[in-house]
Structure 1
Amino acid sequence: MTRVVLLGASPGPDTSPTGLRLAALPGNPTVAERLRSQLTSMDPRLATIESGDVAAALRALADVAEAATENLFIIPENSVVHDELIYQITKAKRGALALVAKEPRPEVTEEAQEAQEDVVPIDEAEPEIGLGRLEGLPVRSRVGKSRVVSVGTARHAVTRPNAILLGPLHVSARNAPVLAQTCRELAAMADTFGEDDDLVQLIVFGLVRNGVSVGIRGRRDLFYRRVTTQEEVNEAGAEMAGMDEDRARLNNAVKGADGFFTTYFVSTYSRFIARWAARRGLTPNQVTLISIALGVAAAACFATGDRPWMVLGGVLIYFAFVFDCVDGQVARYARKFGVLGAWLDATFDRFKEYVVFAGLAIGWVVSGNSDDIWILALAAIGLQSVRHLLDFSFGVANRRKPPSPLPTLALDAPDDRALRQALTRRKVERSQGLRGVLKMWTKAGKFRAVHWARKMIVFPIGERFAAIAITAALFDARITFITLVIWGSVAAAYTLTGRLMRSLV
């Protein structure tokens, strides 16, 4: 469950067009009716905060945050937004996440290049009060690649602002106490803010200065806009109706961190199988059972030891993996999640793998070869079991590790100079020793070849199933097990080294 907070208009008179209608959408709903219908399933007792009085609004939000035991989703009530964008923001695992829009970059012309040459580096830039506007909001935020670096107000300067905070803000339950404290501190200094300071901007201003890491995301291929006039409502409705929300939802059903083989040889089409299955009422657990059946059938084919059956086994184990991807994609597309499904998926991934190992070993012996193959089979099973144990234990330990604290800055500090200096010192400190090595290796991932090499070296399940399918179909079980043991050993050494280094920093 998520606690939903609807904010009124920005500081000043309440001009939210909640009674204006979205004529381009089915049912001709008002802005307020549509937004409330989107959010009621998340929280049937929506908290609504009027924001004409900034101090009162901040204190009311502080009360909500103090009482909350779940994550909070804060959104202005004059928002027109896709359901899928709300879903993606609220399912983010960041401690806090804001929807942002960056200022568009100037076109690369000779004049623009000359102007850019005259701009001083950001480390030497003077903080400023952002006077630019984008989508009706003041450009007073500085965002980096993954988070909000600094936020200003009409009275607080920020170094080279480059973005606006569009409105939706998700705050995890663990940061709710900080949000409450921040809102009370902001309420006490409400008279120092300007008339054009947006309420969401002020909240993020306080969170960032109090050391909360506020992640960022853009709209990408989804729609969000704040509206204040009927003309804007009409434009928003028409633009949103012209966008393919279902395609965005389907693309989001595919995990973004998959391996090379999964990305290029499975996910290119498996998402369409997932949509087909979801629309016909198939559940993720039923798709998991199909994957298990294909895995067992592949093992039975391998157990014959005959070349035609070995080739068929390779094909079947490939499609067993395809449906192993599809079950998760169905769950994300149809939003059908459950403890049983997660347990089945994790458990029977191992079952399929190990039953195929057994089938390969049996086929080798049935073909008249030595039963020494079982040594290789057990080595492959043991190695993979140890790797899974290490993955699980490190994941549990890593979740218990508190996040690295960010520098803080007094809310009444007139600019963000001290905060940026503290962030620079932190960056230098984290670039030394083991941290520096890890950071350098992380940066190397921006090169595509290095990125995919790192994905493949850890020998994820997609690469393992591909190795089994190819070597079993073209060669024999002995080659398959040797490949699994050698590649798995390299992967285990690489992973263990990285995790030891991360545990020591």
Structure 2
Amino acid sequence: MTASMTRASATTSVVLLATTPACRLPCAGGTLLDRINDQLSRLPVRDVQVMTPGGGAGVDLRGIAKIARAATGVLVVLPADLVAHTEALAQLLEHPARGSAALVSSDAGGGPLRPPVRVEGGRVVAAGSSFHTVPEANATFRGVLQAGGADLASLGDVAEELADLADAGRLGPVTPVEVVDLLLVGLVRAGARVRAARLGPLHADRVTGQAGADTALGRLAEVDEEQVRLDTAIKDRDGFFATYFVSSWSRHLVRPAARLGLTPNAVTGISVALAFLAAVWFSAGDRGAQVAGAVLLYLSFVCDCLDGQLARYTRSFSPFGAWMDGMADRLKEYVVYVGLAIGYAAGLPWSDGGPDGIWHLAVAAMILQVVRHGLDFAFGGSRADARRIGELWSKPVRSLLEASDGARPDAPRKGVLRLALAMERESLARWLKRMVVLPIGERMALIAITAAVFNARVTFLALLVWGAVAVTYQLAGRMLRTAR
């Protein structure tokens, strides 16, 4: 049986499995069911359908199949006996990627309420249950499963097939406790791309008795959810300069910016304005103006980092904001090139490329950056197209009756690519690998330092030399990945 409660105009619907006795366990303010319902009321959920005990796992699975086939948007399935941080639920329900995802913990010690999974490349590639085993498991599933709109039909088919198998006793003594675990197994084996939403320091535990519930609730109080939310707003795979010279202190601006009501797009606008001011100062050409321009350019980059941090902290994501951020980065960089070249020319004629060919150098640096960005976007687009075509032509369907899932999505890597992956595990090598591609943080630092200490000609020559190395490295990496 299900009961539906409409909440908002969001695109996410929730099936809340109140099918186990534990969901009626008392806690502060009511029961565990009341608690999780209250948490969902604070998240962007369109409606909540509460499924009550109705005759076993097969009946529950058929109910979910019916809901999935009628659903539009995103569908989340979670058990009401889950004791979790609200922030943990938000990692799925408020994430900008609206595809399929599962809440997992890096703790590889599986158990009856923590089935093992294997995560590779940020995806769940194998999932387990009391019947299905997972070789080389490296994480555990924590009971929250999200199906994106593209996978709703697969979820419905999987749930129906699992119901038939459960009723026939072909999956062993399956109980309603395992319904969401089985759905994850089925979705992964049907070939769906299930993102692994990692808990990190947060907690999400299913319970069976009062003692377990009290312990789980006590663990929640040991974690500062607000601090975790701020920490996760800061990129953990950023460039060296952004990590150590910007994010190390810009994180303290995120909460004040949110309290002031600033939007990520507004911060992007401030970043663009500061870059234009930097270009104006650079165009003056004297040493004091060069230093002032360098400081303004650094502050512009701080705002460039802050807009993303604020977007992740407030979860104010939009396609327009992402496009605006990318376009603003290009605009700021190129207008600074112009300002530097004007300042170096100091009013002299532009003929023959200006003094020391400064305009030729500026245009060459701009073209090189355009080529680099073109390589990135073209490669990303080709990979996305290839993945879509591959999924349409050859979805890897695996039987739900196979007890063990030993399939590995990637063949062993050899040569230079294996060396690159090994380098990624070493701290110094990892940073060098990120810096060699001359990301935007390193570019802004290079421009600011060389302009303040030397002059625009040195700036452009440094950009061209480092940029050429970056293009060579990127091309080699792209060809190796494409060949693999």
Per the normalisation by structure 1, the TM-score is: 0.81
1:5 is aligned to 2:15: yes
Q: Which residue of 113, 118, 130 maps to 1:143?
A: 118
Q: Which residue of 204, 224, 236 maps to 1:224?
A: 204
Q: Which residue of 421, 426, 435 maps to 1:456?
A: 435
Mean Cα deviation higher: 262-271 or 231-240: 231-240
| 1:332-372 residue CA offsets vs partner (Å, 9 max, x unmatched) | 21222334433332222222111111111111111878162
Offset, 1:454? 1.8
Offset, 1:101? 4.1
3-state SS in 2 of match to 1:170: strand
State the match for 1:494 in structure 2.
Answer: 473
1:42 is aligned to 2:44: yes
State the match for 2:6 in structure 1.
Answer: none
Residue correspondence of structure 1 range 7-156 to structure 2 within 5 A: 7-9=17-19, 14-18=20-24, 20-22=26-28, 28=29, 30-40=31-41, 41-50=43-52, 52-90=55-93, 91=95, 93=97, 96-101=100-105, 134=111, 137=112, 140-144=115-119, 146-148=122-124, 150-156=126-132
3-state SS in 2 of match to 1:494: helix
Specify the code of the residue in structure 2 equivalent to 1:281.
Answer: G
1:326 is aligned to 2:311: no
Q: Which residue of 374, 379, 390 maps to 2:375?
A: 390
State the match for 2:351 in structure 1.
Answer: none
Quick check: 2:77–2:146 contact (8 Å CA) kept in 1?
yes
Specify the code of the residue in structure 2 equivalent to 1:201.
Answer: D
Quick check: 1:141–1:148 contact (8 Å CA) kept in 2?
no
| 1:146-185 residue CA offsets vs partner (Å, 9 max, x unmatched) | 5545445445555476754221112322222222221111
1:181 is aligned to 2:170: no
In 2 relative to 1, CA 299–29 (structure 1 residues): closer, same or farther, beyond 3 Å?
A: farther
| 1:89-112 residue CA offsets vs partner (Å, 9 max, x unmatched) | 34274954323346677xxxxxxx
State the match for 1:300 in structure 2.
Answer: 280
Quick check: 2:18–2:79 contact (8 Å CA) kept in 1?
yes
State the match for 1:253 in structure 2.
Answer: 233
Specify the code of the residue in structure 1 equivalent to 2:38.
Answer: S
Mean Cα deviation higher: 188-197 or 138-147: 138-147
Per the normalisation by structure 2, the TM-score is: 0.85
The number of residue pairs the alignment matches comes to 457
Mean Cα deviation higher: 209-218 or 321-330: 209-218
| 1:40-85 residue CA offsets vs partner (Å, 9 max, x unmatched) | 4433322333355111111111122223332322211122322221
Mean Cα deviation higher: 296-305 or 217-226: 217-226
Mean Cα deviation higher: 465-474 or 273-282: 273-282
3-state SS in 2 of match to 1:243: coil
Q: Distance in 1 between matches of 2:128 and 2:324?
A: 49
Quick check: 1:314–1:472 contact (8 Å CA) kept in 2?
yes
Specify the code of the residue in structure 1 equivalent to 2:87.
Answer: E
Specify the code of the residue in structure 2 equivalent to 1:399.
Answer: A
Q: Distance in 1 between matches of 2:269 and 2:137?
A: 52
Quick check: 1:6–1:49 contact (8 Å CA) kept in 2?
yes
Q: Distance in 2 between matches of 1:485 and 1:265?
A: 24
Specify the code of the residue in structure 2 equivalent to 1:100.
Answer: V
| 1:306-347 residue CA offsets vs partner (Å, 9 max, x unmatched) | 112211211111111001111121122122233443333222
1:410 is aligned to 2:414: no
Unpaired runs of at least 5, structure 2: 1-10, 349-353
Q: Which residue of 329, 332, 335 maps to 1:352?
A: 332
1:472 is aligned to 2:451: yes
Q: Distance in 2 between matches of 1:236 and 1:321?
A: 42
Offset, 1:215? 4.5
Q: Which residue of 385, 408, 411 maps to 1:400?
A: 385
Offset, 1:385? 2.0
Mean Cα deviation higher: 244-253 or 223-232: 223-232
Offset, 1:478? 0.5
1:482 is aligned to 2:457: no
3-state SS in 2 of match to 1:17: helix
Offset, 1:273? 0.8
Q: Which residue of 431, 435, 438 maps to 2:417?
A: 438
1:314 is aligned to 2:294: yes
Residue correspondence of structure 1 range 281-300 to structure 2 within 5 A: 281-300=261-280
Specify the code of the residue in structure 2 equivalent to 1:172.
Answer: G
Q: Distance in 2 between matches of 1:391 and 1:103?
A: 34
In 2 relative to 1, CA 241–139 (structure 1 residues): closer, same or farther, beyond 3 Å?
A: closer
Q: Distance in 2 between matches of 1:222 and 1:140?
A: 18
Offset, 1:399? 2.2
Quick check: 2:283–2:343 contact (8 Å CA) kept in 1?
yes
| 1:398-432 residue CA offsets vs partner (Å, 9 max, x unmatched) | 3222266685532223x31xx42x53xx644x546
In 2 relative to 1, CA 455–161 (structure 1 residues): closer, same or farther, beyond 3 Å?
A: closer
Quick check: 2:12–2:47 contact (8 Å CA) kept in 1?
no
In 2 relative to 1, CA 228–376 (structure 1 residues): closer, same or farther, beyond 3 Å?
A: same
Specify the code of the residue in structure 1 equivalent to 2:449.
Answer: I
Q: Distance in 1 between matches of 2:320 and 2:193?
A: 33
